[in-house]
A and B are shown apart, each in its own frame.
Chain A
Amino acid sequence: MSGLLIILAAFFLPLFPASLVFNRLAAGTTNPFARLALFIVWPQIGVALILWGDLAPAGTVLATWATLSAIFYAFRMLTVREVGRWAAMLASSAWPLVWLFVMQGPSGSDLIAFTLAMTVAPVLMLLVRDALARRLEAAYTGLRGGLARDLPRLSGVIAVVTLAAMALPLFPGFFALLAVLSGATLGVAIGILLTWLLWSWAGARLLQGTIFGPRSGPIADDLPRSTTWLVAGLVVVMVAAGLIWTGGAV
């Protein structure tokens, strides 16, 4: 039974090739709200399965598998230019790390928090994707660069969200990675660090293809101030939640 549950969970906390299902679903879901819901709920189903089945997955094979899945999708992020797909790849690279965290025997709430921490950046990136698509017809990097001068607010949001995706300090992803690294073996730790490095590289490329460089393409309206403040508030809440979680207040 537990074996079956683990295989089932491997679809929701996607391990390659089961991850193909999530990626296909993400690509096929055009409604932005449905896509947001998919990103938030999907990994939590995996977490729920683990908690419900009281699963305690272990073993080098699973750890290696999860690490390689994370590295593989991190590498794919370098080649993908559509921001929605980029977000899906980020999620597919981040969520396998949940398995590595599970192996350290966390509490149920910690597991949920960890998974949320790994979900925040892809979800925010989906919001960026929609903002870009509304203004530039598509959220495709490298086509309409140099947004920083004409769309400073949107560019700021893209920069902050990308930094979150790169799991830089203060963002929840950073603390989640620290948590999983602290209990990892040397080999797995190297894999996680490589994944982290690839996220940073991919993030830098994304910034290069959107906000930097000479301006090209038609002029579009910038993000409204209210939305910018909303996103800023969201980021603050997210950072605060991450700090509270890792600080042991919860």
Chain B
Amino acid sequence: MTLSLGRGLKIRSMVHMAAEPIPNFWPMRTFIHHNPLHGLEDLPFPEAVERGEELFHGRGFLPRADYQRLFNEGRVDRDTLEASVAAALEERPALQAIGGQDLLCTLLTERRDPVITKRTVADLDDVAAALHDRADEPASMNVETLAERLRGCFPAERPFYEALDLLYGTRIGETLDELLIKTCLDFFDEGQSAWQMPGREQGLFTAWSALARRNLRLFLRGLHIQKILVQSETPEGIIAYILDELGIPEDVWQDLIVRELTHMHGWAGFIRWRSTANRYHWAKEYPADLVDFLAIRLVLALSLIREHARRRKMPGNREALEALITERPAECYLRHELFTGGVLPAHAEAVEDVVARGKPAEVASLLTRYLPTKRRAEGERQARALDELAELAGAPETFRDLDHDRLVEVLDELAAFEKREGMVWLEAMEATYRRSMLGKLRLTAAEPREKRPFAQMLFCIDVRSERIRRQLETIGDYQTYGIAGFFGVPVSFIALGKGSEDHLCPVLLTPKNLVLEVTTGAEKLDTDLYSSAEHVLHDLKHSVLSPYFTVEAIGLLFGFDMIGKTIAPAAYNRWRNKIEADKPSTRLMVDKLTREQADSVVRALQRVIIVKAIHHEFGIEREAITDSTIRELREAAMEKHVGQTSFARDFALSESAESKFIKTLQTDYRINRSYAQMQLERLGRIGFSLDEQTFFVAQALRSIGLTEQFSRFIILTGHGSQSDNNPYESALDCGACGGSHGLVSARVLAHMGNKPEIRRRLRTEGIDIPDDAWFLPAMHNTTSDEVKLHDLDLLPASHLVYLERLRNGLRAGMRRTATERLQTLEPDGEPELDAVKAARKAKRNTVDWTQVRPEWGLARNAGFIIGRRHLTEATDLEGRTFLQSYDYRVDPKGRLLENILTGPLVVGQWINMEHYFSAVDNEHYGSGSKAYHNVACRLGVVTGNLSDLRTGLPSQTVLYDGLPYHDPIRLLTVIEAPFEHARAAIDGVSGVKSLVKNGWVLAVILDPETGRLHRFVDGEWRQEALPTAEQDATDQPAAEEIPA
């Protein structure tokens, strides 16, 4: 079968479109928080949640019982809840007429299950009969009606194997997932397996089909994949063939493809991201895209369907299914009841026996008895639910008094209300937080400082910075600022000894500049005995056969390691650190190289390589050759030297031996013109020009409003997390640094900020940084709350005398923060925890490999404040708020605010939504319990040994004892700026405007000039009164609405 180019492209575009709602999934080495419904952000939040439920089968809101618990704990605002109910009643006259306010409030707060029960065959007459205790004989149901309903259950866009699973209990879907996951694990492996899948460089579909054609296991299972694969050479051709074979009309292909891809959205999201990651090493080496993925899935599905159809005489395509439903509707109905779990439990056994025998008379007889019973049961269940609700509301006759027509209306309205109920709860929860948070803000003007602070510390906007900032400000003369953890400098970074680039910036940006880490040469880089032994052990573990004897031979060593890590992790780790080699001191290449410098670097590298080549090829040591000999050889390899080289003369090389060596230098050691040119181009990416450096420093300082009164220390504090045995470690790192820690970004900006030339240029722009001000990079370990200062060897001598005071302060801040944080990690622990002990416990979490929750990370994040620090100073925001420093007075055009909204706010919103959905449905949008996770392919985790790639956050991050620890609410964004100024900035960033308009973030503008609060509600800005702390404490309504 040959597919025309046009048709092939059409299928490709269908797959592309179908993948739109699937969120990208990045490898977990640099965990990127993302909104699982990112592809649906163009829809209003409630609609997107509903669509997400259809696509991913995930719940968009908490179960009612969880909301009720939160309500009873005072975390849901009663007034807002009642107001929402009242608003809902305005559109529901039938409910209004029967005292709907009490009824609906009772329904929300007192009844655990939905009052509208599932009815498949019962109608309102059955419900009415049950309500009035009448034993009416249920109306009979035509089998044609049943057949029609069944056809409705299996629309053409539904994967065909699902119909077989629901009619025959075949579990083809499970088998298919299993086979496809195994293929993904084989192909996408990034160095975890000892044996690699062959032919991966040819691409996913080609490599897989080559293997599948001769896969004996699949053949023995009766899967004749070869017969399908011969139909076309291309994945598009295979897709078209299979969909035609199954009898799927072409107009529903795209919908079917959506269902197939979203079924395993973890792998699909990863492949989707990977196929667009042009610089991703593994993608370049082993290409794959969603068309390949879909083609493989469909091939496996068709072969499984054919195998079942052949062996168990089932329909093999839609036409046969249609015929089956037409010919044997009663049997199909009973089968559907049994295998969907909808069968009446008391009849399950009988139904199973009868459909197994398949005798039409028995089926008909059973159906005659089953249907009326089912109708009655459904009617009674619905009536019972209504009665229970009425009883709870204190009006037991409410529903019994209704006539038929009114009952229909009431049930419809109740169903509509319950469908929208999630939003009612959500808005009431958000109101509680909004009132509490806004009530703590100080909208008064800041008092001017008399003298400059001892130290100014720039922290990431991350919610975890809030606690330590507050504690440091409490104990000393520290002035703190919040800035996105990459400090506004997008960097592509190559760490010492690494060959690949890490992008240290939000994933929305692509860095242009490369920063290289190089060693200072202060320490010897020779490998010590311990590291060598570690490498040997690693190699032994990761080969195919050696683990068998390694365990016997040296397994005991691992046993000691295991005991040490388990029994006394802190002490054991201290001991290990002593014997492990320290990381060498390094510098970053931040400055742009000139052409001459780049040439010089290339020449220097080539010379080093030539010395090694001479030693390797001839065994000649360095002392036997001169610089001019090396230069000559280099020029010969670069084709700039003609005639015999002095090297050949000195070591009596024949002409052929000399030319062979030159050739070896060119090919094996890559000393040639084209490679040198490539190196020059790469070197051209290294570093930032002076203009760029000036721009980034000025932008960073202006964006946080730090343009004067510079302190002696300007500490740039990146942050990262440290834990052991935790695949999610990078999820606890800095989101603004692309899931890496923020130290490198801090070092880069500090390097720029300390350069006299940059300061001179900044002065001309009105930012006068005094000569005694020093940018010092630091690292905030969010697991232990330690703040470690870096690049101290560069610190001017004049600053060294202040260092002890600085360290003391940071240590005290760390202990106070750890004490505060430990109480959230161990709510049942000691109530009066000693600070030293708390710090020790927190530090233990960094090395304890049994700890599934080393820290809470960003759980409970709920707010995003863009404004000056005095707004929140001395206010306990409970580590729930992103704090972005911003002074509108230095941003008259609003450009800086637009940058903040574009970058940090969007990252914050992704983090917030990731937590939201992981908390409301941890199984579907989160990744379930860590306890069952296994690392797959070194890029993600799976549950058990085979599952879809688990996206989202583990239960230990968002739940406590199975209940939500994270309050799933949308991000409340507060901007402190004049109303028009802030509104223009929001309107100026279309992405953010859409997020606000569609309700993905909640926006509030605090106008410091008028003292008014503006909130975006129902598509418009409304002016409201600012809640006060007293109001919050007395649980009064948050804000009285004032017309705008």
Contacts and interface: CB of A to CB of B under 8 A. Distances in A.
Interface of A: 81-82, 85, 136-138, 140, 142-144, 149, 214, 216, 218-219
B345 A137 contact: yes
Contacts of A136: 345
A143 B345 contact: yes
Interface in B323-364: 341, 343-346, 348-349, 352
B346 A138 contact: yes
A137 B344 contact: yes
B143 to A, nearest CB: 24
Contact of B341 (A82, A143, A149): A143
B341 A214 contact: no
A155 B113 CA distance: 22
Contacts of A149: 962
Contact of B343 (A143, A216, A218): A143
Contacts of B343: 143
Contacts of B349: 81-82, 85, 138, 140
A144 B345 contact: yes
The interface residues of chain B, by DSSP majority, are classed as loop
Contacts of A218: 113
Contacts of B345: 136-138, 140, 143-144
A81 B349 CA distance: 8
Contacts of A138: 345-346, 348-349
A214 B924 CA distance: 12
| Interface range, B side | 10 to 19
The 6 closest A-B pairs by CB, nearest first: A138-B345, A137-B345, A140-B348, A82-B349, A138-B346, A137-B346
B729 interface: no
A223 B113 CA distance: 21
Interface string B269-288: 00000000000000000000
Given A137-B346, A219-B112, 7 more contacts: A81-B352, A82-B348, A136-B345, A137-B344, A138-B348, A138-B349, A143-B348
Nearest to A218: B113
Contacts of B962: 149
Interface in B939-965: 962
A81 B113 contact: no
A216 B341 contact: yes
Interface in B86-117: 112-113
A81 B348 contact: yes
B1034 to A, nearest CB: 37
Nearest to A141: B348
B923 interface: yes
Interface of B: 112-113, 341, 343-346, 348-349, 352, 923, 962
Contacts of A216: 341
B843 to A, nearest CB: 35
14 contacts: A136-B345, A137-B344, A137-B345, A137-B346, A138-B348, A140-B348, A140-B349, A143-B341, A143-B345, A144-B345, A149-B962, A214-B923, A216-B341, A219-B112
A204 B349 CA distance: 20
B583 to A, nearest CB: 46
Nearest to A214: B923
Contacts of B112: 219
Contacts of A140: 345, 348-349
A13 to B, nearest CB: 26
Nearest to B343: A143
Contacts of A143: 341, 343, 345, 348
A214 B962 CA distance: 13
A85 B113 CA distance: 32
A219 B344 CA distance: 16
Contacts of B341: 142-143, 216
Task: Pick from B345, B346, B352 the residue with the most CB of A within 10 Å.
Answer: B345
Contacts of A85: 349
A216 B340 CA distance: 12
Contacts of B352: 81
Contacts of A137: 344-346
A218 B341 CA distance: 13
A81 B353 CA distance: 11
A140 B338 CA distance: 11
Contacts of A82: 348-349
Contacts of A219: 112-113
A149 B346 CA distance: 23
A86 to B, nearest CB: 11
B430 to A, nearest CB: 28
Nearest to B112: A219
Contacts of B923: 214
A170 B352 CA distance: 36
A234 to B, nearest CB: 26
A95 B962 CA distance: 43
A144 B341 CA distance: 8
Task: Pick from B343, B349, B923 the residue with the most CB of A within 10 Å.
Answer: B349
A188 to B, nearest CB: 31
A142 B348 CA distance: 11
B338 to A, nearest CB: 9
Contacts of B344: 137
A81 B341 CA distance: 13
A144 B962 CA distance: 20
A10 B343 CA distance: 37
Nearest to A139: B345
B987 to A, nearest CB: 44
A172 to B, nearest CB: 29
A219 B63 CA distance: 14
B41 to A, nearest CB: 28
Contacts of A144: 345
A187 to B, nearest CB: 28
A189 to B, nearest CB: 30
A85 B349 CA distance: 10
A142 B344 CA distance: 13
B605 to A, nearest CB: 59
A78 to B, nearest CB: 14
A143 B345 CA distance: 7
A138 B346 CA distance: 5
A136 to B, nearest CB: 6
Contacts of B346: 137-138
Contacts of B348: 81-82, 138, 140, 143
A5 B923 CA distance: 59
A216 B352 CA distance: 20
Task: Pick from A137, A216, A219 the residue with the most CB of B within 10 Å.
Answer: A137
A154 to B, nearest CB: 16
B656 to A, nearest CB: 72
B335 to A, nearest CB: 14
A217 to B, nearest CB: 8
Contacts of A81: 348-349, 352
Nearest to B344: A137
A140 B348 CA distance: 7
B120 to A, nearest CB: 15
Nearest to B356: A79
Nearest to A84: B349
A81 B343 CA distance: 13
Nearest to B117: A218
B947 to A, nearest CB: 14
B97 to A, nearest CB: 30
Nearest to A144: B345
A140 B113 CA distance: 23
A217 B504 CA distance: 48
A219 B112 CA distance: 10
